[in-house]
Amino acid sequence: MKKTHIATLKKERFDDFISALARLQKVVAPVARGNGQFAFEPVVSGNEIALDYIPTILPPKKYFLPQHETLATFDTTKGQQMEPVVAYEKMVIFGVHTCDLAGIQSLNMIFSERPKDVNYLIRKSAITIIGYECNDYCDEYASCRLVHNHTPNGGYDLFFTNLGDKFIIHINTQAGDDIIESAGLFEPAQAADLKALEQLRSDKRKLFANEVPVVHENIPEVFAKSFNSKVWEDLGKKCLACGNCTNVCPTCYCFDVIDEPNLDLKTGKRYRRWDSCQSETFAQVAGGESFREERGARQRHRFYRKFKYPMNKFSRLFCTGCGRCSRTCMAKINLKETLTQLVKEQAMTDLKAGNQ
Amino acid sequence: MPKFSTKVKTKKGAENEYLPRAAEITKIRDLNPEVKHYTLKFKDGKALEYKPGQFVQVSLFGVGEAPISITSTFERGDDLEIAVRKAGSLTNAIHELKEGEELFIRGPYGNSFPWQEYKGKDILFVAGGIGLLPLRSVMNAIFHHRKDYGKIWVLYGSKCPTDCVYSDELVSWSKIEDVSVLQTVDSPASGWKGNVGVVTTLFSKIEFDPDKTIAYLCGPPIMIKFTNLTLEEKKMRPDDIITTMEMHMKCGIGKCGHCLIGHKYCCTDGPVFTYAQLKTLGAEE
């Protein structure tokens, strides 16, 4: 008999599933943190998990590319020696929304490109990903329809969709299948379940409408013409250069490499930590010259790194539509609004050119 | 507290792109009061194969790591040579080192100066200040195969006579057949008999055929800008003007994001770009 790649799990068995999984390995999932905020944290039972959550404060990239990561340790007592280090942990991430799955896929492309980044890849190989579908918008900041991330595009081992009294699960990998098999709590999907899933997806097509007046395919074109737009100057006046937007972005991966000696001054570590293109020193070279002195130029750089440059290199937008940058911005710089302004400005320019 | 059957594991000794190799400083010479030249030999005995225009990541444990241009030429059998200007904590610490001590090197990284495909062409080198350091790698490659090339000019500008690097080599290059070395300084000291003014003022002293000349430039951004404009005025094609960029390179392998110019990583797509390429990177230069 051909093995099915779809399974179901009754709601009342969800807690058993997570508890069983957490006995075998570390499980992290979205947990409510109060004030309408959520975070990926270790859990031991299903009851701790906030299934109905808006994008977490930090995306799951924190498990793939930790804020602080030792790359090597050094010891200068017995001749100068340096030892490379990779710290990793086997874990399951449960409840990853489709926007964040896209974020992990983007990071995979960056760090798998040669020369490969072994630290990232070793850590990635120890992580199992269970995705979780959004049946409705999280809030007004999301722009997942624009970038086609409101429905799953792979990048998971298992994918859960909430059908009310049960979950329907897409089994995408051997690792995912092993979890299903060993749990012994899952049932094969019936025709009615598949129909319910189909209905849900069709309802979503009506529910999710493009959030910005431009189609996905035309975004790079808009950016190709917007380098000298006044929009960047306006953003520069608002921006506080705090770097919140890049910290919470699921596809921002820029880092700094720093040496930290221990108190003995003989041993120590070389580590990397998240860095932000929004800080003035980011593109500064020895001697003090900075290549992006203006905040507007730095904001522009951030937008181009989401909507234009990765299209040239990977044929992929690096904005996942999660809305975190807009949600977290203290100066209320809003990604949807900024894109809309660029599109409108472009339309005006085209109109003027047509009239002449 | 949750009990996990697995804990954080540490993998040591894995093949790692970020791991440097120890190199002994075999010779140090002062190029000017701010710049020292280091000749290096790897402790493991393996030589580094590199091309003109590439760079290495140089580090001292506990101080940090920085990208430094290679100034030597593998083509003619040189040991690895780098030149370091005192600019920050790492370069200051490097300046404290003595012959016999160690530096840590990974690389080489980046693309390189094209030069073998320009056989038969006339060559114009334009350098400002320490811009001569990375250019020296391709200059010596071309001088090593002198007969394969046409006329060669070296235009070199520095702030003042004491800032000039490789003074002795400028003299020896000028003695190579059909190589003209022209020097200029912004502010002369007593006894300076040469040209005074920025490097572009030297263009009035030479005549080159824009159709058969390749120009290599390196220097401060302002010098690059005006040299590009002058060369364009003289009808050189932007494809034939080659420069090397200095950006803040941290990882050297196209990941960390610091050295992006537009969508190009200075460390993997560069640091060598033609003027034509730089024009396509948008206003971001």
One DSSP character per residue, B203-237 reads GGG----TTSEEEEEES-HHHHHHHHHHHHHTT--
To the nearest whole angstrom, how far is the Cα of B36 from the nearest Cα of chain A?
16
Residues 6+ apart with CB under 8 A from A222: A214, A307, A339, A342, A343, A346
The predicted-structure confidence for A14-52, as pLDDT tens digits, reads as follows: 999 999 999 999 999 999 999 999 999 999 999 999 999
Contact check, Cβ <8 Å, B8/A287: no
Please give the Cα distance from A327 to A350 (Å, whole number): 32
pLDDT for residue B56: 95
- Poorest-confidence range of A92-101, A241-250, B34-43, B238-247? B238-247
Contact check, Cβ <8 Å, A305/B7: no
User: Which chain B residues contact residue A265 at CB under 8 A?
Assistant: 62
Contact check, Cβ <8 Å, B256/A118: no
pLDDT for residue B251: 86
The predicted-structure confidence for A115-127, as pLDDT tens digits, reads as follows: 889 899 999 999 9
Of A42, A272, A289, the CB nearest to B2: A42
SS3 assignment for B28-77:
EEEEECCEEEEEEEECCCCCCCCCCCCEEEEEECCCEEEEEEECCCHHHC
Mean residue pLDDT across chain B: 89
Residue A2 binned pLDDT confidence (cut-offs 50, 70, 90): very low
The predicted-structure confidence for B139-187, as pLDDT tens digits, reads as follows: 999 999 999 999 999 999 999 888 999 999 999 999 998 999 999 999 8
User: Is the confidence at residue B267, as pLDDT, over 70?
Assistant: yes
Mean residue pLDDT across chain A: 92
| Domain ranges for chain A | 6-207
Side-chain half-sphere CA neighbours of B70 within 13 A: 33
What is the identity of the amino acid at A139?
A: D
To the nearest whole angstrom, how far is the Cα of B85 from the nearest Cα of chain A?
9
Of B14, B91, B250, the CB nearest to A286: B91
Mean pLDDT of A192-214: 94
Q: Which of B3, B12, B18, B159 to mutate to test the interface with A (most CBs of A within 10 A)?
A: B18
pLDDT for residue B283: 52
CA nearest A255 in B: which residue? B256
User: Is the confidence at residue B282, as pLDDT, over 80?
Assistant: no
Question: Residues B58, B118: contact at Cβ < 8 Å?
Answer: no
> Of A217-221, A290-294, B237-241, where does the model show the most confidence?
B237-241
**Which backbone phi and psi does A187 adopt, to 5 degrees?**
-125, 155
User: Which chain B residues contact residue A243 at CB under 8 A?
Assistant: none
In DSSP terms, which residues pair with B128 in a beta bridge?
B157
pLDDT for residue B233: 93
User: Is the confidence at residue A167, as pLDDT, over 50?
Assistant: yes
pLDDT for residue A274: 96
pLDDT for residue B52: 95
The predicted-structure confidence for A121-144, as pLDDT tens digits, reads as follows: 999 999 999 999 999 999 999 999
Q: What's the angle, vertex CA A216, arms to CA A211 and CA A217, rounded to 5?
A: 155
Question: Residues A53, A38: contact at Cβ < 8 Å?
Answer: yes
- pTM over cut 0.90: no
Q: Which residue has the higher pLDDT, B15 or B109?
A: B109
User: Which chain A residues contact residue B253 at CB under 8 A?
Assistant: 115, 117
Residues 6+ apart with CB under 8 A from A66: none
Please give the Cα distance from A301 to A283 (Å, whole number): 11
Q: Where in chain B is the domain with CATH 3.40.50.80?
A: 116-244
The predicted-structure confidence for A68-89, as pLDDT tens digits, reads as follows: 999 888 888 877 778 888 888 9
pLDDT for residue B12: 57
The predicted-structure confidence for B222-258, as pLDDT tens digits, reads as follows: 899 899 999 999 999 999 999 998 777 888 888 888 8
CA nearest B3 in A: which residue? A23
Q: What interface predicted TM-score (ipTM) does this complex get?
A: 0.79
In the structure encoding, which two tokens stand for residue B112, read together?
Answer: 């390189």
Consecutive H or E run containing A319:
none
Q: Dihedral through CA B56, CA B57, CA B58, CA B61, nearest 10?
A: -150
User: Which chain A residues contact residue B258 at CB under 8 A?
Assistant: 254, 256, 275, 282-283
The predicted-structure confidence for B186-202, as pLDDT tens digits, reads as follows: 988 888 888 999 999 99
Contact check, Cβ <8 Å, A291/B261: yes
Contact check, Cβ <8 Å, A309/B263: yes
In the structure encoding, which two tokens stand for residue B173, read together?
Answer: 């290059």
User: Is the confidence at residue A286, as pLDDT, over 50?
Assistant: yes
Instruction: Give me the CATH code for the B21-109 domain, please.
Output: 2.40.30.10
Of B5, B20, B66, the CB nearest to A24: B5
Of B12, B62, B256, the CB nearest to A74: B62
Q: Where in chain B is the domain with CATH 2.40.30.10?
A: 21-109
Residue B8 binned pLDDT confidence (cut-offs 50, 70, 90): low
CA nearest B1 in A: which residue? A44
B116-244 architecture in CATH?
3-Layer(aba) Sandwich (3.40)
DSSP A7: E
pLDDT for residue B2: 36
